[in-house]
Structure 1
Amino acid sequence: MISDNGSSIISAFFRVFSKEIKLADAHHFLDIADKSKSKKQCENEYKSAKYDLLDWGHHIGYETQNLYKLAYFVLKEVFETQQFHKEVKTTTHTYKDWAKNPIDYPLASRDKGIHQVDCTTDLSALEPKDIAKMVMNVTDNSTNSFMQQIRRNLSILERPLMTASGDGKSYIYANFNPKYAQYVLTILRTCYNFCLSYKTPNGKKLTPAQRIGITDKQFNLEDIIYLR
């Protein structure tokens, strides 16, 4: 699972998937971004990170200029020496503890610049190349995309706006109704996860449900309505 560092969702994840976490079948990654950055600052960080990545690849000797591949190579090298967990020794036993040691994600983005990734679960049983593959998928793009779908399609969530003169609120576009908004959000969430496909880094078009292995097919609205 990928989230920000909100304690409520982290606690819920560890409570629901406690067995899977102990067996190392489930992991939780943090996508940490500084939301106080200006748009210009994010754009500058994106350009700088892109240049640094290409320059690193050139000096190491990689022929590819594919930023995604170069970022993977960077991460694989990082995890040869760095871990998200530390080993704690007591008089009776040894255990792994979260080190709170995030790394800079090598692929900066235009909307949030350079951001960091951390992992709250134990990855010590995995090889650096496997950890690098997992970290490459740590992004909040899917969450942002879903929020955009909500903003663009659900007028029922539109709140009143300040008038141009600033003397009050205009309710002309405000259809806010929490009861029906909940129904519509459930429908949209199901449609987004199972019906709408998006291009993945490897070029395939998959739904979010296909990407995480819940299903192997893309559904349409009729499949959902008639439980096919």
Structure 2
Amino acid sequence: MVETLGFHPFYETVSLGAKKHYRWARNHLKHPLATKDQGYRWVDCTTDISTLDTQYIANMLMKVSDYAVNNFIQQMRRRISILERPLVTARGDGRSYIYANFNPKYAQFSVTILRTFYNFCMTYKLGTDRVTPAQILGLTDKKYSMKDIIYFK
């Protein structure tokens, strides 16, 4: 991966008069390791990484995963009933759209509430500790309860 990154540009140099800046080149790179469920993936970097070491970039790219996003989307679909897929009827001749009359405004409210709960209240095991995604990112140093979120404590 380090050798590939040595000649693979994620950005291009653009000159505006005497000034130069970097712009995303939309130059995807095939990830060297396939996953069981997705096969080979393509990775890209949308930010300027010209100051970072090639070894550091290679380590970051090896950790690329969309499991956290997929997990959140699956939880969102399971926990918010108006976002569920249509159900197949018992006879199998059609689909039941029992949640089809939802209001998108309230669906957005529900997703926002779930996202806040997911990021600040729901813990995961990381080593020997149980932490929230917000703690992993360094946004907070504690796990919040629903009361903390509701009453802004």
Deviations 1:53-77 (A, max 9, x none): xxxxxxxxxxxxxxxxxxxxxx344
Q: Distance in 1 between matches of 2:129 and 2:34?
A: 22
Aligned-pair distance for 1:140? 1.8
Give the % identical residues.
46
Aligned-pair distance for 1:192? 0.6
The structure carrying a bigger helix percent of its residues is 1
Amino acid at match of 2:99: A
Could you say which residue in structure 2 is the equivalent of 1:116? 42
TM (norm. structure 1) is 0.54
Could you say which residue in structure 1 is the equivalent of 2:123? 197
Change (3 A) 1:151 1:128: same
Amino acid at match of 2:118: Y
- How does 1:11-90 map onto structure 2 within 5 Å? 75-88=1-14
Helix, strand or coil at the partner of 1:119: coil
Could you say which residue in structure 2 is the equivalent of 1:227? 152
Deviations 1:131-177 (A, max 9, x none): 234334432222111111112222232354454443x4424x53752
Could you say which residue in structure 2 is the equivalent of 1:8? none
Could you say which residue in structure 1 is the equivalent of 2:106? 180
Deviations 1:107-154 (A, max 9, x none): 422221110111122110111133234334432222111111112222
Does residue 140 of the first structure (1) align with residue 56 of the second (2)? no
Q: Distance in 1 between matches of 2:74 and 2:87?
A: 19
- How does 1:146-157 map onto structure 2 within 5 Å? 146-157=72-83
Where do 5+ consecutive residues of structure 1 fail to align?
A: 1-74
Paired residues, number = 151
Q: CA RMSD in A?
A: 2.9
C-alpha contact (below 8 Å) 1:85/1:96 kept by paired residues: yes
Aligned-pair distance for 1:190? 0.5
Amino acid at match of 2:138: G
C-alpha contact (below 8 Å) 1:158/1:176 kept by paired residues: no
